[in-house]
């Protein structure tokens, strides 16, 4: 079911009836595989369809001055451009992080669904509010938090979001995120990110091998990051 992770996410944050889950599952959608680094939607593009992540990952980025700034990561179950139902131009590029399968749903189909259900409208609205809350966390930490807790917070957040959709096993998750991606998300240099990750490893807080990240001492990592997941749900 292409919508299964999205339904699971909405189920956690709002609660859905069996009929509501069926209505979402019945949404006509088109699936597409996108390659690592492929731009799904471009900044300035007037979107007519909403994208949701079936498997793999997406991120949003834009050029600020002479450097790339990552604005968000999106995991399976996310619908990162839901706001285009009301504000159609994209304000950033939406890019694949590793091989990714996406689904797209026409705005007209989503509007028809939401017009028929106040509760589903609230659920989708809450999804956009959580996206906004994540953005506020990133903005606050980008300017105010030191590198070590900032990178730790990013790892904790990704683990919590993946756990919601059942993609964390024994404190391990898969994500093809490079040190360049971390640097662009945290406003750091690659050299600084490398040193920071080495320090997290040295403290025995994480193991990071290829695309697999393991939280070895999750409670200690959360304390270091000052991470509380309330804003995610």
The 10s digit of each residue's pLDDT in 83-129 is 999 988 999 999 999 999 999 999 999 999 999 999 999 999 999 99
**What angle separates helix 179-186 from helix 190-202, to the nearest 10 degrees?**
110
Instruction: Kindly report which listed range (132-136, 142-146, 161-165, 197-201) carries the lowest average pLDDT score.
Output: 142-146
Same fold, 4-140 and 146-232: no
Give strand ranges (E) for 107-232.
172-174, 206-209, 212-215
Q: How confident is the model at residue 71 (pLDDT cuts 50, 70, 90)?
A: very high
Query: Residue 137 pLDDT > 80, yes or no?
Result: yes
The CA–CA distances, whole Å, from 70 to 1, 52, 66, 102 equal 30, 18, 13, 19
- Output the pLDDT for position 111: 96
Q: Quick one: CA dihedral 77, 47, 119, 233, positive or negative?
A: positive
Q: Are 77 and 9 in contact (CB under 8 A)?
A: yes
Gap between the Cα atoms of 30 and 24, Å rounded: 14
What are the structural domain ranges in the chain?
4-140, 146-232
Q: How confident is the model at residue 2 (pLDDT cuts 50, 70, 90)?
A: confident
The CA–CA distances, whole Å, from 106 to 30, 50, 139 equal 9, 6, 31
Number of neighbouring beta carbons within 10 Å of residue 86: 8
Q: Are 74 and 103 in contact (CB under 8 A)?
A: no
Q: Are 97 and 36 in contact (CB under 8 A)?
A: yes
**Which numeric CATH code is attached to 4-140?**
2.60.120.10
Gap between the Cα atoms of 21 and 7, Å rounded: 6
Q: Are 99 and 55 in contact (CB under 8 A)?
A: no
**Furthest-apart CA atoms within the chain: distance in Å:** 54
Gap between the Cα atoms of 190 and 117, Å rounded: 47
- Output the pLDDT for position 167: 97
Give the residue among 64, 63, 19, 56 at the shortest CA–CA distance from 40. 56
Mean pLDDT (whole number) for 133-162: 96
- Architecture of domain 146-232 in CATH? Orthogonal Bundle (1.10)
Q: Residue 204, Cα to own-chain centre: how many angstroms?
A: 26
Whole-model pTM over 0.85: yes
Output DSSP code: residue 3.
T
Buried b (16+ CB within 10 A) or exposed e, 158-184: bbbbbbbbebbeebbbbbbbebebbbb
């Amino acid at each position: 079911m292409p919508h299964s992770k999205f339904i699971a996410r909405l189920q956690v944050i709002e609660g859905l009836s069996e009929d509501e889950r069926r209505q979402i599952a019945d949404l006509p959608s088109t699936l597409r595989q996108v390659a690592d680094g492929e731009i799904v939607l471009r900044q300035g593009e007037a979107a007519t369809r909403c994208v949701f992540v079936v498997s793999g990952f997406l991120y949003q980025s834009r050029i600020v001055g002479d450097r790339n700034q990552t604005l968000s990561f999106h995991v399976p179950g996310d619908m990162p451009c839901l706001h285009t139902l009301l504000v159609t131009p994209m304000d950033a590029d939406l890019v694949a992080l590793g091989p990714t399968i996406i689904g797209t749903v026409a705005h007209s189909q989503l509007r028809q669904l939401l017009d028929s259900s106040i509760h589903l409208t609230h659920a989708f609205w809450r999804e956009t509010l959580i996206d906004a809350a994540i953005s506020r966390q990133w903005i606050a930490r980008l300017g105010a938090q030191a590198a070590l807790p900032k990178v730790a917070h990013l790892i904790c957040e990704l683990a919590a979001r993946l756990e919601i959709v059942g993609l964390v096993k024994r404190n391990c998750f898969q994500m093809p995120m490079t040190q360049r991606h971390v640097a662009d998300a945290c406003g750091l240099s690659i050299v600084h990110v490398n040193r920071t990750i080495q320090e997290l490893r040295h403290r025995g807080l994480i193991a990071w091998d290829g695309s697999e990240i393991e939280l070895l001492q999750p409670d200690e990592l959360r304390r270091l990051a000052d991470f509380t997941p309330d804003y995610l749900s």
